Amino acid sequence: MPGGVPPRAMGPIPMNASIQRMFATIAADEDRYIPLPSLTYGRNGSLEDSMTIRYGEAEVQLLYYGPAHTFGDTLVYFPQQKLLFAGDVGFFHSTPLAGGGKVGGWLQVIDKVNELDVETIIPGHGPPGGKSELDDVREYFEFVRAHAREAYNAGLTAPQAVEKLDLGPYAK
């Protein structure tokens, strides 16, 4: 490892003892080398950017539409196949976890995906689906946001809001 400096976790990764041991183990391995990316995209914190890669007739697009599940969600789009690897922007038939990102941003990313010519979406969680499954994620977030707004306006504490929440169709 260049300089003998262990990798550092940034953002929402908790630096607990287990993760510190993992980084120490990696740093102690003289034969391990973790190169930095030699090719990146983005314009100094741009909230929307992309990179297109071509190999022969094949094309793949790396798309960044802003913070969603995390602050670095990149989508991988194969326009000729109408295929999108959505990563953790897609939670199909499971409850999305939004602790490290922005729900409002996630909704904007879903809107941008709905503008793409996509038939199949491979989510980070759940089985492959399409735009209707991604719209289910949108509906869930809109439901939770409406409840949170109502609880806030009523002056409820977070635990009181959770206690009052009836997940209805999302309880399963």
Task: Please provide the average confidence, as pLDDT, over all residues in the chain.
Answer: 83
Quote the CA–CA distance of 66 and 86 in Å, as a whole number: 13
Q: Which of 63, 69, 59 is nearest to 48 (CA)?
A: 63
Average pLDDT over residues 24-52: 70
Sheet with 83-91, edge to edge strand ranges: 49-55, 58-64, 74-78, 83-91, 120-125
The DSSP symbol for 83 reads E
Average pLDDT over residues 35-40: 64
Quote the CA–CA distance of 78 and 97 in Å, as a whole number: 26
Quote the CA–CA distance of 140 and 137 in Å, as a whole number: 5
For residue 131, give every residue at least 6 positions away whose Cβ sits within 8 Å of its Cβ, in sequence order, or none: 113, 114, 118, 121
Check pLDDT > 60 for residue 157: yes
Give pTM, 2 decimals.
0.73
Please write the tens of the pLDDT for every residue from 78-93. 999 999 999 999 999 9
Position with higher pLDDT, 27 vs 83: 83
Query: What was the pLDDT predicted at 3?
Result: 44
Average pLDDT over residues 96-118: 91
Q: Domains along the chain?
A: 49-171 (3.60.15.10)
Please write the tens of the pLDDT for every residue from 41-78. 666 555 568 888 888 888 999 999 888 998 888 999 99
Q: Which of 169, 101, 99, 161 is nearest to 136 (CA)?
A: 169
Query: What was the pLDDT predicted at 124?
Result: 93
pLDDT band with cut points at 50, 70 and 90 for residue 37: low
